[in-house]
Chain A
Amino acid sequence: QKEVEQDPGPLSVPEGAIVSLNCTYSNSAFQYFMWYRQYSRKGPELLMYTYSSGNKEDGRFTAQVDKSSKYISLFIRDSQPSDSATYLCAMSYSSASKIIFGSGTRLSIRP
């Protein structure tokens, strides 16, 4: 079983919809949670970073961590075609340990 599981998609939604992207994980020791966005033929870029449980909002993006369920989510409000990309969740045990990445969910926003 992988430490971090992510539905590969593809997920296709109309412009303006609310998008929900999710990851589950098996090790309760994870403390740091990240979301990276990767456009086609490009490297990943950090989108959101949270520590422990709770929500974090940045513009149209909200990251949510539920440690009791070992489940993290990324919500995108008012989705735009420019949000079409692969979204990778990532997590780490501590501030000094290496990052474990999910395999990514491919998202397509239809105009």
Chain B
Amino acid sequence: NAGVTQTPKFQVLKTGQSMTLQCAQDMNHNSMYWYRQDPGMGLRLIYYSASEGTTDKGEVPNGYNVSRLNKREFSLRLESAAPSQTSVYFCASSAGQGANQPQHFGDGTRLSIL
């Protein structure tokens, strides 16, 4: 019962480097999400995918791109990392979009940009 799996768990980058955070879910969920969590700011939505083949911007999309590779996988890419992107990134999935569909979260990727 893996649920939502995120890789890597930790990463240190230099300013300007690029990287892709991977997320996969095995619950046959339609909707997937990427959040960042910063002290005092709570969880903020970066991008989401309501269903396979669709992606939409959330609250803080600047500096990020996403790909919904298939129903299981949703990746987040930082093209040119900046120190302001130092954060803990969480991927989540739900059966459908909306508040009445519980979101299941992975354990996060801790990303540090120097």
- Give chain B's interface residue range (CB within 8 Å of chain A): 20 to 34
CA distance A95 to B48 in the complex (A): 16
Of B45, B103, B106, which is in contact with the most chain A CB atoms at under 10 Å from its CB?
Answer: B103
CB distance from B6 to the nearest CB of A (A): 8
Q: A43 near B105 (CB under 8 angstroms)?
A: yes
Q: A44 near B43 (CB under 8 angstroms)?
A: yes
User: Which residues of the other chain, B, contact A96 by a CB distance below 8 angstroms?
Assistant: 97-98
Q: B92 near A103 (CB under 8 angstroms)?
A: no
Asked if B53 lies at the interface with its beta carbon under 8 angstroms from chain A, I say no
Smallest CB gap from A93: residue in B: B99
Q: A42 near B107 (CB under 8 angstroms)?
A: yes
Interface of A, helix, strand, loop or mixed by DSSP: loop
User: Which residues of the other chain, B, contact A88 by a CB distance below 8 angstroms?
Assistant: 42-43
Q: A43 near B48 (CB under 8 angstroms)?
A: no
Q: B100 near A95 (CB under 8 angstroms)?
A: yes
User: Which residues of the other chain, A, contact B43 by a CB distance below 8 angstroms?
Assistant: 44, 88, 101
Q: B102 near A43 (CB under 8 angstroms)?
A: no
Q: B106 near A43 (CB under 8 angstroms)?
A: yes
CA distance A31 to B99 in the complex (A): 9
Which residues of B in the span 82-114 have a Cβ within 8 Å of any Cβ on A?
90, 92, 97-100, 102-108
Q: A92 near B90 (CB under 8 angstroms)?
A: no
CA distance A97 to B42 in the complex (A): 18
User: Which residues of the other chain, B, contact A4 by a CB distance below 8 angstroms?
Assistant: 42
User: Which residues of the other chain, B, contact A102 by a CB distance below 8 angstroms?
Assistant: 42
Q: B98 near A97 (CB under 8 angstroms)?
A: yes
Q: B100 near A43 (CB under 8 angstroms)?
A: no
Q: B42 near A92 (CB under 8 angstroms)?
A: no
CA distance A101 to B100 in the complex (A): 15
User: Which residues of the other chain, B, contact A92 by a CB distance below 8 angstroms?
Assistant: 98-99
User: Which residues of the other chain, B, contact A46 by a CB distance below 8 angstroms?
Assistant: 102-104
Pairs A–B under 8 Å by Cβ, sample size 7: A34-B99, A44-B43, A51-B100, A95-B99, A96-B98, A98-B58, A103-B40
